[in-house]
Structure 1
Amino acid sequence: MVSPQSEERTYHPQDAIAATIKSTALTGGVGLFASAVQNTLAKQNVGPLGIFVRSGGTIAIFAAMGGTYSFARIASANLREKEDPWNAALGGFFSGSILGLRARTFPAVFGYGSALAVTLAAFEYTGGTLWGHDKDRNVDKYEKLEKLRTTYRRPAEETISEIGEGRGIYGPGYADRRRERIKEAYGIDVPATPPPAS
């Protein structure tokens, strides 16, 4: 019998066109915001249409970079039938190359593409965080959470013996022990609290 950890995960193809349209719209919106900021900070009065006329290239660059990254990453994953950092590197290279096209030199196209490819591949490799992630893609998340939940479960008696009672942690018979301690320390008889009527 093959264990679930040793067998390969099945790749499910994704819709590259729908994801490209969605990410183009999203990054185009970010580009529109950046263009509006550029228009606001302009020294001469260019009017509200300056967002599209004067700094409209910013919108186009942002939208093209987002759409290209999304399409290249998903198309690569669909063709290779694998979900790994190489897809992000390929998408990052094409996306960064678009940013380098503004400089109109081959070194800028290759440099921006390579820099973004390395950055996005490293980001994908570390599990989507810059602090690293030791996520094993072959382990089921439910099983992992169950293991964590049962690993740290300790008997209540052990916890109470280590840290003592109080602060919301009370063992069985706590009220009786508390009454006895108060009687010994202060000589006061504390009446037993009746159980709440419900």
Structure 2
Amino acid sequence: MAPNTGGDDDKYKPQDAVSTALTMGALFGSGGLFLAAVKTSLEKKHVGPWAVFTKHGNIAATFAAVGTVYEFSRVASANLREKNDHYNNAIAGALGGAVLGLRAGRIPAILGYGALMSVTSAVFEYTGGRIQGTGRDPNVDEYERKEMLRKRYRRPVEETIAEIGEGRSIRLPGYEERRRKRLKEAYGFEVKPVCADPDRA
């Protein structure tokens, strides 16, 4: 999502911070539970099925706490500021990273994780909030966009054949005649075309 400057044309609509935080906490908690299950399955000694919760349950709890705090602080910050921009992600990243640093139990770790997550999430949101780059223009028709890309990168077939040659399923009209001529010049005998299709024989 591109940063919203919150101008007069774009009236900010408040969001429900609690429900979005609980949803994100459940999502992150599920991911943490999956990682805990993977870690339990890689144990060298035999552990019971409840070791996911008893031995490695802190992973799922940490993930759920980070997701909940991050999303709640992001939405609450946007509601208070009435703007939906990258500063909300910076605030949320600082608090979410601090929760992640609580596992270490030291102030430098809390501040370091908070600063790292704050900068990362703010820069990610500022640059468009998408891994695959900026979003496509909704005013451009998808068919026309793809046709433009095809024309931009299309090469003439003559240029392709000049580089790689005919054969290997690349056949222009008159290919069989040219092939027979090359074989006659190279080996001195003429190849008579035979159709292997019994319906056309």
TM-score when scaled to structure 2? Answer: 0.64
Q: How does 1:54-133 map to 2 (within 5 A)?
A: 56-73=57-74, 79-82=82-85, 85-102=86-103, 107-124=108-125, 125=127, 128-129=130-131
Amino acid at match of 1:192: P
Q: How does 1:1-198 map to 2 (within 5 A)?
A: 19-35=20-36, 37=39, 51-52=52-53, 56-73=57-74, 79-82=82-85, 85-102=86-103, 107-124=108-125, 125=127, 128-129=130-131, 135-137=133-135, 139=137, 142=142, 145-194=146-195
Which moves more between the two structures, 47-56 or 93-102?
A: 47-56
Which moves more between the two structures, 68-77 or 158-167?
A: 68-77
Q: Are the equivalent residues in 1 in contact too, given 2:69–2:95 (CA < 8 A)?
A: yes
Which moves more between the two structures, 150-159 or 13-22?
A: 13-22
Contiguous gaps of at least 5 residues in structure 2: 1-9
Amino acid at match of 1:119: T
Which moves more between the two structures, 171-180 or 49-58?
A: 49-58
Q: 1:76 & 1:96 partners in 2: Cα distance?
A: 16
Deviation at 1:172, TM superposition (A): 1.4
Deviation at 1:105, TM superposition (A): 5.7
Deviation at 1:25, TM superposition (A): 1.8
Deviation at 1:49, TM superposition (A): 5.1
Deviation at 1:96, TM superposition (A): 0.5
Which moves more between the two structures, 178-187 or 31-40?
A: 31-40
Aligned residues: 183
Among the aligned pairs, what percent are the same residue? Answer: 44
Task: Summarize the Cα distance change of 1:38–1:159 in structure 2 as closer, same or farther, 3 Å threshold.
Answer: closer
Q: Are the equivalent residues in 2 in contact too, given 1:72–1:94 (CA < 8 A)?
A: yes
Task: Summarize the Cα distance change of 1:137–1:47 in structure 2 as closer, same or farther, 3 Å threshold.
Answer: closer
**CA offsets 1:58-113 (integer angstroms, 9 cap, x no match):** 3322101022223444555674245xx54443332221121234456655433321
Counterpart residue number, 1:5: none
Q: Are the equivalent residues in 2 in contact too, given 1:157–1:171 (CA < 8 A)?
A: no
Q: Are the equivalent residues in 2 in contact too, given 1:89–1:118 (CA < 8 A)?
A: yes
Which moves more between the two structures, 67-76 or 172-181?
A: 67-76
**CA offsets 1:12-35 (integer angstroms, 9 cap, x no match):** 978765553343223212333455
Task: Summarize the Cα distance change of 1:171–1:71 in structure 2 as closer, same or farther, 3 Å threshold.
Answer: farther
RMSD: 4.2
SS at match of 2:22: helix
Q: Are the equivalent residues in 2 in contact too, given 1:39–1:54 (CA < 8 A)?
A: no
Contiguous gaps of at least 5 residues in structure 1: 1-9
